[in-house]
Structure 1
Amino acid sequence: MTRYEDLPYRQCVGVMVLNRKGDVFIGRRSGGAEHVDATHSWQMPQGGLDDGEEPFDGALRELHEETNIKSVTKLAEVDEWLAYDIPAAIGKKSWKGKYRGQTQKWFALRFTGVDKEIDILRPAGGAHKPEFVEWRWEPMRNVPKLIIPFKRPVYDRVVKEFAHLVK
């Protein structure tokens, strides 16, 4: 049996969506193995890449599947992939022990639509199961403290990389 430390990382994308004021879209997760308490259940849209999918295409797909958002323009991306390890007890539940964590390519997008476009209860027109039970716009500086602690270093880095996008 493979040691947990030797397992691969799951390839994913993450999306920081900024509204016109410079606030960030965050959603509160509806549950899952990573949902450990009410304070740290918020996150930005993120998810796994499909086989052969380009990261930016995956970011747009994941964003639509989780939020229904399509009205965006690309602002920036983090040059390298950012990784985090998930605690073994959670990883065994959420990914059946296949991965030790995630490596993520992060993008910053400007939301150019109106808030009524956002539909977390019927994302992608109802074609996908909801992942969030509520959402809000949050000042960028506040986002890392709302995320589950083992993901916080990645979120700190994403905020640092994209801070120049906020007026």
Structure 2
Amino acid sequence: METPPDGYRRNVGICLVNSSKKIFTALRINISDTWQMPQGGAGEGEDLLTAAMRELREETGVTSAEFVAEAPYWLTYDFPPQTRERLSRRWGTNYKGQTQKWFLFKFTGKEDEINLLGDGSETPEFKDWAWLLPERVLELAVDFKKPVYEQVMKVFGPYLQADADEDSAAQNETEAEVYVESTPV
């Protein structure tokens, strides 16, 4: 496996898709209008697939997910200066940004399993969530993460294509029809 670059926080990203090939995306609590896919740090020596499943459970409560694919390389982004400064104080480090190994999972549970309070082991990070088309995920991503999200969509693109036998109306669902749930925190 490729070695992640030095100076970056080792991290995993999770692209969770439902049966309609829409992607789980959540609205951050502490950053205004910031939607993202689940992600989180991986400990030194921690198996990355195990870290991805742990982060998914911690952030969303989801345990009903089937591993589909892993990105073949690390995807890296730099923090903007203000973000870097804030995170340096919080983490006690001076990472340039994050380097991520991305995993694709298929959600196999029922939506009532999704709980933005997570498994209770960590402080909640999200206040709303939605199943979104890949294009919408890219539109809502914070600017400094967009290049990574574009690569995630490219790598997992073959898995994100709607099945040929699906109703075309479902493929063209508008943003107004997207299901969003709020969870009090």
Instruction: Please indicate, yes or no, whether the TM-score normalized by the shorter chain is above 0.5.
Output: yes
**Residue 40 of structure 2: aligned partner:** 47
- Residue of structure 2 equivalent to 1:84: 77
1:88, 1:100 within 8 Å by CA — same for their partners in 2? no
Which residue number corresponds to residue 123 of structure 1?
118
Whether 2:139 is the aligned partner of 1:145: answer: yes
Which has the greater radius of gyration? Answer: 2
Q: Does residue 136 in structure 1 map to residue 138 in structure 2?
A: no
TM-score in terms of structure 1 length: 0.88
Q: 1:110 aligns with which of 103, 106, 110?
A: 106
Q: Which residue of 2 aligns with 1:4?
A: none
CA distance in 2, matches of 1:129, 1:90: 19
Structure 1 equivalent of residue 182 of structure 2: none
Q: Is residue 154 of structure 2 the alignment partner of residue 163 of structure 1?
A: no
TM-score (norm 2): 0.79
Q: Distance in 2 between matches of 1:50 and 1:61?
A: 11
Which is worse superposed, 103-112 or 44-53? 44-53
What's 2:64 paired with?
A: 71
3-state secondary structure, aligned to 1:135:
strand
Asked whether the equivalents of residues 55 and 105 of structure 1 are also in contact (C-alpha less than 8 Å), the reply is: yes
- In structure 1, the residue matched to 2:13 is 14
Q: 1: distance between equivalents of 2:102 and 2:112?
A: 25
- SS in structure 1 at match of 2:44: coil
- Tell me, which stretches of 5 or more residues in structure 2 are unaligned? 1-5, 163-185
Moved over 6 A (4+): none
